[in-house]
Amino acid sequence: MKEFLALVLILGLIAFCVHLAGESGNPNSKIENQKSASPLPLPGAKIGCDDTGLNIQNAGGRDWPMLELSLNDRIIGYHCLLPPTAAGAGRRVELRDCVKISTGERFDPRRLAVLQVWIGGNGFDYEKFEP
C-alpha cells in the first residue's frame, strides 16, 4: 500500500512539474502570449481506443516533449504522462496506467468508459478527443 501511495504521489509531482515546465521560460513570454492572437499549438494527435488502451500517434509534425494525458475530465479525471514522442511516431497507453490524482484510483476499463481524452501541456494547448 505504501508503494502505491508513493507512486500516486510521484505521478502527481511529475504532472505538476510538467505543468510548471510548460509555463516556465522567458518571463515576458506570458505577456506576449496574452497579446498574441494565436494560442499555443495543439499536439496534433490521432487516437485509437480499444478495450484496454489507447494508440496515440504524433501526427502534428513537431516532436512532443513529455505531455499530460487525461481521461474523462482534464482537471479531475484520470491522468498519466505520455513520454516524449517524435513527430510521426506512435505510443500505446494502457488505460490502467491512468490514475485519479485525488484518490489514487486506477482507471478500470471493465467498469468505466472512455468518454474524453485530453492531451497537452508543456508548451502545447490541450487537445480534446471523444472516441
Domains of the chain, by residue range, sit at 2-129
pLDDT at 131: 82
Regarding predicted confidence, which is higher, 38 or 112?
112
Q: What is the CATH number of domain 2-129?
A: 2.60.40
What pLDDT score was predicted for residue 30?
A: 35
Q: What is the pTM of this model?
A: 0.70
Q: What is the pLDDT of residues 35-89, one digit of tens each?
A: 334 599 999 999 999 999 999 999 999 999 999 999 999 999 999 999 999 999 9
Rounded CA gap, 51 and 95, in Å?
A: 9
pLDDT more than 90, % of the chain: 69
DSSP line for 3-41: HHHHHHHHHHHHHHHHHHHHH-S-TTHHHHHHH-SS-PP
Q: Check residue 40 and give its pLDDT.
A: 95
CA distance 47 to 126: 14
CA nearest to 101, candidates 12, 7, 6: 12
Residue 14's φ and ψ, nearest 5 degrees, are -65, -45
